[in-house]
Chains A and B, each alone.
Chain A
Amino acid sequence: MTFRLTCPVCGKRDVYEFTFGGQERGPRPEQDGLSAEEHFRWTQFRLIPNEPQEEWWYHGQGCGVWFKTTRDPGTNREVK
């Protein structure tokens, strides 16, 4: 089954209108003094347990807004 996400502007819309922007992981680390290893760890390494996570989505085929929502990777559904 497909599912819907809640766009803060357009309301509930089909997931295929959106682009997945990945987990919310806080601000990008400061570049000054950042080692190559820390850089690669930040860009590629993730902890993805089977439990709800806060993530970014882009409503590319709608209003064009970036927003955060909490979704459960075990069910695909948003969690409020």
Chain B
Amino acid sequence: MSWLRPSRLWRAAPLKRHYEVVIIGGGIHGLATAYYLARTHGIRDVAVLESHYIGFGGSGRNTAIVRANQRTAENVRLYDEGLKLWPVLTDELDFNLMFFNCGNLNLGHSEAAMNAFRMQASTHNLLGVKSELLDPQQCADVIPGLDISDRLAFPIHGGLYHPPGGIVRHDAVVWGLAKGASEHGVHIHQGCEVRGIDTREGRVTGVRTSLGAIGCKRLGIMAGGYGSAVAAMLGIELPIHPLTIQAMVTHPFKPFLHHVFSSGAYHVYANQTLKGEIATGAHMDPQVNYTTDATAYYLKHQAEALSELMPALRGVRFMRIWSGLADMTPDMAPIMEGELGCDGLYLDAGWGYFGFKSGPVAGKYMAEYMSSGERPEILRAFQLKRFLEGRYSGETASVMKYGHWD
């Protein structure tokens, strides 16, 4: 009966005083980078430092939605590869990530939104990513209970349906990547808070942590929403606003919602989890902060939005609410950079809403970048200096108006 005995997914490791590579942040970006460094590039002397427990931050706080229906070609290319990695990783890690490619429906509430969707779908189709426009009746066929009448404040004009998207169990991704990284020799240190970064003669030499100083030759800042606070330790200014974004779940139902749906106009996205709850996310809080505060304001907001779009949900109760950080950039595209004026220092940040769906593919390319020192071709669009040259990505041309910083 040994298979019944619970076994640890990853090994506890002694804290060494020096590593070849140190990664700040035990979320999916950090763990995926460590995993690919060890597995693909043979760099096994790697430590992942996590201030709380692995998956404490955005990795365990998102609504688990994955998709590749971004606006611009360079982003679609990256997210499409990321989307195709889930089944590969499930196999590679020998761990069930519970990938459910149920499809995403983005609702449009004006003719302008439908025109933007039309362009977006064309970009997807040109790149071989499945997306199609639906009329209101087709939207209601896909999402039963959707109110397609003109009673809504913002009536539904149609939608952009993206069949390959869906949901992935986010805890499973964190645990699976930790398991995979650990099997390849990576040291994962939880409860290890980074308090300072040491450099000498323009090179990174190590970090100062709550568990003492740790030396390294290469350092990756992959701390999700806390990335701007970590970069601030070195005085590195970034075009990033860390904002809390709140999510919540209702009590469970029989399965009735078979796809992810979202609405930019109502600031709502929702899916039914495998446990039957409706998991739904809201808009961001306005002020920069590094908290995990949740508020009644967004419970009310979500209740209003969901019950207007789907009247059958009136009277349903929310069971839990939480929040995580979104590190917003002005152009809604990430920053993956190794030229920060300090040799050996790499930054993977600014993922905003999209840090979960991109985790494994970002890790794959950051590992390539950190092992070779050469920027992979696919990351050329995500350099920090684009913000200093006024060459913003076109991602904000998607239907969603995100906020005052874009």
- Chain A residues lying within 8 Å of B374, measured Cβ to Cβ, are none
Structural contact, B291 and A20, CB atoms closer than 8 A: no
> Shortest Cβ distance from A58 into chain B, in angstroms?
10
Structural contact, A47 and B235, CB atoms closer than 8 A: yes
> B294 — nearest CB in chain A belongs to which residue?
A1
> B331 — nearest CB in chain A belongs to which residue?
A44
- Answer yes or no: B176 CB below 8 A from chain A CBs: no
- Answer yes or no: A62 CB below 8 A from chain B CBs: no
Structural contact, A46 and B293, CB atoms closer than 8 A: no
**Total contacting residues, chain B, CB less than 8 A:** 29
- Answer yes or no: A34 CB below 8 A from chain B CBs: no
Q: How far is the CA of A15 from the CA of B287 in the complex (A)?
A: 9
Partner of A48, one of B242, B293, B294, B389: B242
Partner of B228, one of A3, A40, A48, A76: A48
The secondary-structure label for the interface of chain B is loop
Interface residues of A in 2-35 (CB under 8 A from B): 2-3, 15-16, 18-20, 23
Structural contact, A46 and B229, CB atoms closer than 8 A: no
- Chain B residues lying within 8 Å of A15, measured Cβ to Cβ, are 287
- Answer yes or no: A41 CB below 8 A from chain B CBs: yes
- Chain B residues lying within 8 Å of A20, measured Cβ to Cβ, are 286-288
Q: Given that A19-B286, A37-B388, A45-B237 are known contacts, is A50 also in contact with B293, CB under 8 Å in the complex?
A: no
- Chain A residues lying within 8 Å of B242, measured Cβ to Cβ, are 48, 73
- Answer yes or no: B296 CB below 8 A from chain A CBs: yes
> Shortest Cβ distance from B15 into chain A, in angstroms?
24
Q: How far is the CA of A47 from the CA of B230 in the complex (A)?
A: 10
Interface residues of A in 29-70 (CB under 8 A from B): 36-37, 40-41, 44-50, 55
- Chain A residues lying within 8 Å of B291, measured Cβ to Cβ, are 73-76
Structural contact, A1 and B389, CB atoms closer than 8 A: no
- Chain B residues lying within 8 Å of A36, measured Cβ to Cβ, are 388-390
> A41 — nearest CB in chain B belongs to which residue?
B388
Q: Given that A74-B290, A76-B287 are known contacts, is A47 also in contact with B237, CB under 8 Å in the complex?
A: yes
Structural contact, A40 and B389, CB atoms closer than 8 A: yes
- Chain B residues lying within 8 Å of A49, measured Cβ to Cβ, are 229, 232-233
Structural contact, B388 and A73, CB atoms closer than 8 A: no
- Answer yes or no: B239 CB below 8 A from chain A CBs: yes
- Chain B residues lying within 8 Å of A55, measured Cβ to Cβ, are 287
> Shortest Cβ distance from A29 into chain B, in angstroms?
14
- Chain B residues lying within 8 Å of A46, measured Cβ to Cβ, are 228, 237-241
- Answer yes or no: B295 CB below 8 A from chain A CBs: yes
- Answer yes or no: B3 CB below 8 A from chain A CBs: no
- Chain B residues lying within 8 Å of A73, measured Cβ to Cβ, are 242, 287-291
Partner of B293, one of A23, A45, A76: A76
Structural contact, B237 and A41, CB atoms closer than 8 A: yes
Q: How far is the CA of A2 from the CA of B387 in the complex (A)?
A: 33
- Answer yes or no: B330 CB below 8 A from chain A CBs: yes
Q: Given that A40-B390, A46-B228, A47-B232 are known contacts, is A16 also in contact with B297, CB under 8 Å in the complex?
A: yes
Interface residues of B in 217-234 (CB under 8 A from A): 226, 228-229, 232-233
Structural contact, A40 and B387, CB atoms closer than 8 A: yes
- Chain A residues lying within 8 Å of B286, measured Cβ to Cβ, are 18-20
Q: Which of A1, A49, A55 has the most CB of B within 10 A?
A: A49
New A-B pairs, 18, CB < 8 Å, besides A15-B287, A37-B388: A2-B297, A19-B286, A20-B288, A36-B388, A40-B387, A40-B388, A40-B389, A45-B239, A46-B237, A46-B240, A47-B236, A47-B237, A48-B232, A48-B240, A48-B288, A50-B232, A73-B287, A74-B289
Q: Which residues of B are at the interface with A, using a C-beta cutoff of 8 A?
A: 226, 228-229, 232-233, 235-242, 286-291, 293-297, 330, 387-390
What are 21 A-B contacts with C-beta separation under 8 Å? A2-B296, A3-B293, A20-B286, A37-B388, A40-B389, A40-B390, A41-B388, A44-B330, A45-B237, A45-B238, A46-B238, A47-B236, A48-B240, A49-B229, A55-B287, A73-B287, A73-B290, A73-B291, A74-B291, A76-B287, A76-B291
Give 10 closest A-B pairs by Cβ, nearest first: A49-B232, A44-B239, A45-B237, A2-B295, A20-B286, A20-B287, A50-B229, A73-B289, A37-B388, A48-B228
